[in-house]
Amino acid sequence: MDISEILIHQLETLFLLTPQEREQLQGDLKPLKEKRLRH
């Protein structure tokens, strides 16, 4: 599970994302899948 999936999961759990919002976020966070986010 990468950072974008964790974020979407958190938002869905807490704020009930609509399918459009989920799709939008997935598209916006796509570049992160190639880059690893360091702590």
The residue ranges that bind another protein (CB under 8 A) are 3, 7, 10-11, 14-15, 17, 21, 24-25, 28-29, 37, 39
Give min distance, CB of 2 to another protein, in A: 13
Backbone angle region of 37, left / alpha / beta, with phi > 0 → left and psi within -120 to 50 → alpha: beta
Closest CB 34 distance from another protein, rounded Å: 16
Cβ pair 33, 5 in contact under 8 A: no
Q: Of 15 and 34, which CB lies nearer to another protein in the complex structure?
A: 15
Return the structure tokens found at 14. 């807490």
